[in-house]
Structures are given as C-alpha cells and as structure tokens.
Amino acid sequence: MKKIIIITMLLSLCLMIMTTGALAQEPQYGGTLKFSMYSSPEGLWIPARGASTYDVNVNNMVYEPLIQLDKNMEPTIPRIAESWEFNDDKTKVTFKLRKDIKFHDGEPLTARDVWYTYTQIGHIDYEGTHMAYNSYLKGFDAFREDESQRGKALDYEAYMSGEEDYITGIQVINDYEIAFESTDYSSRMLADRVLGIMPYHIWKDVPIKNQHLAEELEKPIGSGPFKFEEYARDEYVLLTAYEDYYLGRPYVDELIWAIRDQEVALMELEVGELHLAEFDPNSYNLIEGFEELDVYNDLSPVYQYMGFNLQDPKLTLKTRQAMAHAIDRQGIVDSALLGFGEVVETPIVPFHWAHNPNLEGYDYNPEKAKKMLAEDGWEMGDDGVLTRDGMKFRVELLYPTGNQVRIQSAPIIQQNLAEVGIDARLNMTDWGTLLDKTERRGVPFNADQFDLVLVGLAGGVVPDQSAKYHSRNIPDGNYVGYSNEEFDKMLDDALTEPDREKAVKLYWEIQEVMSHDLPVLTLYSPNRLTAVSSSIHNVRPEAVEDNDWRAFGLVNIHEWWIED
C-alpha cells in the first residue's frame, strides 16, 4: 500500500480521508518505534545551549517547551504555557503555566524551572549558541558582563529573596506565572520561548561552567512524552514512554533512534527493521519498488541561493538581473531534485506567515537575459564570452562539498551562464575553505575573495534578514556586501513593529526590494522527504517541530501507534 503523500491544500483532503480510514481502527498500545538518524548526537542534552539537529531530535522528545510553532512557523500552539498575554506596548509577555505537568522523576514543573532554563542563557560562563534568545531582555547586558557570576550555579532562593538580580527581564510572578520583559518591542519575544524546559531541582548545584561535564547528562530528566533511557554513541538513542505525560501516555512503549547510513536505512525500512527515515531525492530510485512504506513529501524551510560578490565591478544590478533570467531554476528542480522542491523568489519560504506570494521574480528567459546584458554594456567577444570595458566576463562559481543536489546544480548553472556568454569556472571546496573565502572574519571585504557562491540556509522563525543583508553586518554575515541605507531602515522597522499586519506589509516590501536588487539569487527550496513504515498510524507530518524545523514533525508523537 505504498503511497506518496504530498502536503498541499488540495491533497490534504485526501490525507484526511486516509487518516480517518486509519482512525477507524482502534489504536494499539505497545511496541517500539524505530527511527533512523544519519549522525550521532553530541550528547549535549541541554536545550538551552543549542546543539546539532540530532540532539534537537532527542531533546524534543524528552523535554517539553512553553509553546510551539505551528505549520506557518508562528508560535501559537500552547504546550506548558496554557495561555499568554502581552502588555499594551507589547514589551512584556506573561505566561500562565499548566499545573498538571510533572517531570519524569515526579517533581511538578513550575515557573522556577522556566526561570532556570532561560536565565542560564547569557550567564558569563554560558557556552551555547542561543544567546540571541535573550539578548533583547531587560537587564541582559548587565547580567552577561557580571564577573561575580563566574564559576557559579544559578540560585533560585537568592533570586526570590532579591539577593541576586540575574536577568531583570525574566520575572517569576508565582509558581505558575512567569513574565519576560524586553527593553523595546521585539518580534522574537514569543518565537524564542520554544526551548525545552529543564528541571531546576536537578541542575541547581551544577555550575553553568561545568554543565557539559555533569553526570546529569547521562540520564537527562524532562517532562516530554518520552523518558531518556540510554545513549550508545554511533549506535542508538533509546527512550521509553512517559506514563504521566500530560497529553496522555504514548501508545508505543519505546522510541529508538538508530544511527544509520541513508541507503541502508531505507532498505531496513523495507524489511521492517526501521519505521522512519528521512532521505534525499537521490535515493528515491532505490525505494520505488518498496511496498511497506509511505513517502511524505513535505515543504522545508531550507533554501539554496547563489550569492553575488557585490564589490565585483562585473556584477552590476542589471547584470545580476540578467543572470537570474539566464539560470533555469526549474530545470535544477526537475533534474537534480527530481521535482521534489520548488523555485523560490525570496529567502522567506512559501509557508512562512511573512512570505510575499506576489513577487514577479525571474522566469527562465535566455533571450531576455542576453538583451539585458547588452543593455548593461556587455558585448559578445569572438570567443563567445562577453566583454565590457576591456574586461572579460569570467567568474568563479564557488560551492562546498556535501549537499549532492547543490553539487549537481553547479554544472547546470555553469551551462546556463555559458549560453548567454558568461564563462563560469567551477570551484568546489570544503566548507572551511569556503567560509574563509566568503565570511573571512575581520578582513576588509574586497572584490577578489569570490565571485559567485552557492550555499543553503534554513529560513528562520523570525523573518528578519538583518544578519545577512543589513549593512552593519558587512563583512561577517553580510559577506556579499549589500549596503542600502533605506533597506537597513526597513529591516529595523519590521523587526520592531508590534502590529502583525503592518509587520507583514513591511516584510513584503523588504522581499520586493531584495527581489529587485538581488544581493543573492534564491534558487530553490528542496522538499523534505520522509519514508514511514505503513504499519505506523496517526502520522501528522505537517506540524512544524520546535525551533529546528529540519526534524520531521513529531508534534503528536504520543498518538502514533504500531499495527501488528
């Protein structure tokens, strides 16, 4: 009963019919859900610190967040927080917590634990990547520089008695109410409250500095649907069902992630050794004959783009626009992605609430491209390469090893550019070398470092584009060197606009400017392909998972059950 499930407006109807069909059967308790992942987690089961996707997969099952993102990447789904309320100027949000949530060791989850989870971010010994989750809160800067905290753990009693301030913007009101207050309005305020909540009573004596060495990591305690059981590096992570999960005990008894090679994982699915594996379009041929699995073809927030070195005198505005018309992006989707993806005109992906669907974009039109290049002063030379002011149009297309689809797209782009008279030389390097050439840190930006670069990014929950395109971030994040004062202001305004409708409008304008100016040309967004064994019921892949949307939507994992 193999079927390919495409999550679109039209086909979700079919999906509903299919799931109702499945619901007619009575769910069964028991069994072990067997998932695969491709690399071993770092074993840093501390949601507040940030780690690899693989760690996030596990953390999402063991820990429960305050709130969760919906499928448009809006933080609207209540989890531990049953409700929340903003003050009038939207600088403060107060969460009301559910009172029926217990940690895996039986201790109730209260505001104290939420306070602990968030306050550690910004501590002087904090070693993590989530600093931005708190950076706009009141008192954050003072706390971050507080030398007297060095080597210490967080002390809740000292905080409650007023002895220690910690972050003044994180305020415990009572056991089941906690508020976050920022200096100015920030659109991130809610979206950043998606981290798994850690138990204070377990961690209270561990200095922040020593967290990663703590024995508490051997068997982390959370309040999520599964309890942590065992981790064997490069082999598996084993979790067991949490009887007292507040949304109901999971139907399955165990959840295990086996660390597997991609092709092998798909074959193991077919023989029933595994139940779920994500895979690349390249592997699609392999599973075409497989009977025992369903394929979920789902949108992803990842997009690939081609960055232009804007300091390069060859890559003027009209030339960039012409190149956009010259590149057959649909062709890349059809051949390299086998159609499992779509061309995108903006870095804000189509299912995001801030996505602008009205962009005209750039259709594949080599004739138009040639005309535009001629208008921009390029003349065809005898060797078939364009020339302007005595300068040949020769560029280097830089791209990293790793992503197979991206590697396959490079020669297509080279071919497309050659057709309009642009000579692009391919240069594949390892990731470290590529970063050295693009985001070379502390070195003044110049035209020689690179010409064109192919890279991918996962679009953020917050649609802000400042890190990559605000002129203050040249040359670090904004390594293409895009500098537009008016655009900077639009970015700042959008980020601090409390009114949702006005913010959407601002983001639409931002996308229009980007689509016109082309600091980068967005190429395509690959779909996320997941194979799931047909014996698993109640799979709802459309749900976006936590702060890392690369993980298959496991939001209702407690409802999944295995048919014998």
Partner 1 sequence: MRSYILQRFLLMIPILIGVSLFTFFLSRMAPGDPLMHYTDPDFTQEMREEMMEKMGLNKPIYVQYISWLREALKGNLGVSLRYRSETVVHLIREKISPTIALTLTSLILAVFIAIPIGIYSAVKQYSIGDYIFTLGSFLGISVPSFFLALGLIYIFSLKLRWFPMAGMQTIGSRGGGFIDILRHLVLPVTALTLMRLAAFVRYSRGAMLEVISQDYIRTARSKGVTEKIVIFKHALRNAAIPIVTMVGMSIARLFSGALIVETVFSWPGLGKLSYEAVLQRDYPVLMGTTLLVALMVVVGNMVADITYSLIDPQIRYD
**Binding interface with partner 1 (CB under 8 A):** 32, 34, 39-40, 42-44, 50, 125, 127, 129-132, 212-214, 217, 230, 232-236, 238, 254, 256, 258-261, 263-264, 267-268, 270-271, 273-274, 430-433, 435-436, 441, 457, 460, 467-468, 476-477
Give whichever of 187 and 416 is closer to partner 1, judged by the CB atom.
187
Task: Return the number of the residue (416 or 525) whose C-beta is nearest partner 1.
Answer: 525
Q: Cβ of residue 420: shortest distance to partner 1, in angstroms?
A: 31
- For partner 1, the closer of residues 32 and 534 by Cβ is 32
Cis peptide before 475 (omega within 30 of 0): yes
Place of tokens 């981290």: 195
Give 161 or 285: the residue with its C-beta nearer to partner 1: 285
The nearest distance, CB 531 to partner 1, in angstroms, is 14
Tell the smallest beta-carbon distance from residue 37 to partner 1 (Å): 11
Whole-number minimum distance, CB 436 to partner 1, in Å? 4
Residue 16 vs 142, nearer CB to partner 1? 142
Closest approach of partner 1 to the CB of residue 53, in Å: 10
Nearest distance, CB of residue 302 and partner 1, angstroms: 11
24 vs 271 by CB, closer to partner 1:
271
Q: What is the CA radius of gyration of the chain?
A: 25
Q: At what angle do helices 500-517 and 485-495 cross, to 10 degrees?
A: 150
CB of 42 to partner 1, least distance (A): 6
Q: Which is nearer to partner 1, 28 or 129 (CB)?
A: 129
Specify the residue, 233 or 489, whose C-beta has the smaller distance to partner 1: 233
Residue type, 514: M
Q: How far is the CB of 267 from partner 1 (least distance, A)?
A: 5
| Alpha carbons 288 and 193: distance in angstroms, whole number | 41
CB of 388 to partner 1, least distance (A): 33
Six token digits for residue 173:
């009101």
- 8-state DSSP, 148: G
Which is nearer to partner 1, 159 or 399 (by Cβ)? Answer: 399
Number of other residues whose CB lies within 10 A of the CB of residue 85: 10
Q: What is the DSSP letter of 445?
A: P
Distances in Å between the Cα of 40 and the Cα atoms of 57, 61, 260, 266, 347 are: 11, 16, 9, 18, 30
- Beta carbon of residue 553, minimum distance to partner 1 (angstroms, whole number): 20
Residues 512 and 84: their CA atoms lie apart, in Å, by 34
Nearer to partner 1, 214 or 447 (CB): 214
DSSP class of 137: B
Closest contact distance (angstroms) between CB of 35 and partner 1 is 10
- In 3D, which of 552, 54, 36, 41 has the Cα closest to residue 260? 36
CB of 213 to partner 1, least distance (A): 6
Please give the structure tokens belonging to residue 127.
């070693």
Stretch (H or E) spanning 293:
strand 293-298
Using the minimum distance from each CB to partner 1, give the nearer residue, 96 or 188.
Answer: 188
In whole angstroms, the minimum distance from the beta carbon of 157 to partner 1 comes to: 28
Q: Packing angle between helix 317-326 and helix 404-419, nearest 10 degrees?
A: 110
Q: Which is nearer to partner 1, 165 or 261 (CB)?
A: 261
Give the separation between CA 95 and CA 85, rounded to whole angstroms.
7
The residue written with tokens 């084993």 in the block is 238
Q: Tell me the two tokens of residue 391.
A: 């300068």
Of 330, 314, 414, nearest in space to 365 by CA: 330
Q: Considering the complex, state which of residue 365 and residue 429 has its C-beta at the smaller distance from partner 1.
A: 429
552 HSE (CA, 13 A, CB side): 20
Give the C-alpha separation, 236 to 280, whole Å.
22
Query: Are 93 and 189 contacting, i.e. CB atoms less than 8 angstroms apart?
Result: yes
Amino acid letter at 176? Answer: Y
SS (H, E, C) 485-554: HHHHHHHHHHHCCCCHHHHHHHHHHHHHHHHHHCCEEEEEEECEEEEEECCEECCCCCCCCCCCCCCCCC
In a 10 Å sphere around its CB, with 0-12 CB exposed, 13-18 middle and 19+ buried, how is residue 431 labelled? exposed
Contact 488, 472 (CB under 8 A): yes
